[in-house]
Structure 1
């Protein structure tokens, strides 16, 4: 949902929007004018949605909490991503929370939804903050957000602070230092400078990074080696008897439909152990050819 479509959603629900429809400020102003639900109304709407699948009740629950999404999104302004996009992702988390909310647990929707809202925003930040992902595992994501918060307060971490962060988040000091290095890095264009007309700009990585696979001699050597290995494989198969060759081909070379020992045993009328022995002997002969 874009900034415009978020505003249009409010229009579709007969909610007044001041100013231009496509304005993020207008959207924020409108959602802050939506009344906050009382605990009793929230419970009633949640039960209507859960028990009767009442989409109007779900919509009202979502609309009444849009202001909270804006509040959470503003807390991530320092990541350099558009506020409208953060709000959009947070709204998705809010809708997921409403879908899973159980009014019988005894907590307000806002307390339950905050985790879903933040989760969607975190995923968006990690997908878009760098060209290369800075965090891929759950532990790294937790470290990313906690460490960035600490760095904003402390700047570069000293050895004692690294130990404290590692102990607090239950990770190694090496992981803390590696994540700090990622946070301090920046994206660089591979094949051009920020301004091609700047004669004093440093060279782009394409000018000095080595690509061995592009070297003609190495490419030829690699291709020749691969062709030689294929020819040895063909020679090895030709040296086998027909049954052994069929077993090796179906056990090792048919990647999409690999036969089992029992399937081959049933086909040849012998035991699975006998098929295994034939396979082992055939591989031994082929390995000897490769080693020669």
Structure 2
């Protein structure tokens, strides 16, 4: 079955009014015609029948979308998401149910719009679980007439939506909260008049300039260390390598036996070599 239900109408912000005028001119389907188209799509995979079902119900999507105009999101985007829900509904609609397509589709339309609003209403998501999403939309509708929830209001909402009263108060706080700009705001004269998060949300140690300087210093220090090692005599260099650089480190007694000297002498040679390395790195820094 072909599932390509792309709409032949370009919905954009610049042509939104023209879009509304256009879909208002599309004739509505009779019950019989809708039934015929739905059966053709289900049984024959007739994509033109599916497209006609979608087109004839676009005005219903626009009607539903207008109810979400108060979220500060472009209405054209909300309608577009609702249209996606309508197309999903057409794909799943069973004409044997004995109901009109719009009655079946309203769930899918609202589900897509709800998902879009939740993802885009705030920078930080206000709802993640199914219960929180239900609470988000119901509580926001109620708060249009209420400035603050009373104890009775909160308890009634919690009982009605089957959520904990603590969740109701948490959602109320999220709804009342405001997004804060990372950069400081400026007045008409260009003067900053507030403390923005960028001033106190510094991630210490993550300054690119500091990291680059540290990287350059580490690389330079390593080069100087290797150069200083190369300037040591063979015995001193071997002692340091055997004591500190090799995977299997030698003891003072192992090196004393190798060079036929005392362990104390090996310790002295080691200290002298370490001092030379330290001076080479520090003096040239």
- The corresponding residue for 2:79 is 87
Residues 1:122 and 2:114 aligned together:
yes
1:182-197 equivalence runs, <5 A = 182-193=174-185, 197=189
- The corresponding residue for 2:43 is 51
- Measured in 2, the distance between the counterparts of 1:157 and 1:194 equals 34
Q: Match for 2:165 among 158, 162, 173?
A: 173
- 3-state SS of paired residue (2:127): coil
- The corresponding residue for 1:131 is 123
Residues 1:61 and 2:60 aligned together:
no
- 3-state SS of paired residue (2:173): helix
Identify unmatched segments of 5+ residues in structure 1. Answer: 1-5, 12-19, 217-237, 239-292
Root-mean-square deviation over aligned CA pairs: 2.6
- Measured in 2, the distance between the counterparts of 1:88 and 1:41 equals 25
- The corresponding residue for 1:152 is 144
Larger radius of gyration: 2
Deviations 1:223-252 (A, max 9, x none): xxxxxxxxxxxxxxx9xxxxxxxxxxxxxx
Structure 1 residues 196 and 93 mapped into 2: Cα distance closer, same or farther (>3 Å)? same
- 3-state SS of paired residue (2:149): coil
Aligned residues: 204
Q: Match for 1:23 among 15, 30, 36?
A: 15
- Measured in 1, the distance between the counterparts of 2:204 and 2:157 equals 40
Whether the aligned pair in 1 keeps the contact of 2:38 and 2:50 (CA below 8 Å) is: yes
TM-score, normalised by the number of residues in structure 2: 0.66
Identify unmatched segments of 5+ residues in structure 2. Answer: 1-5, 211-247, 249-285
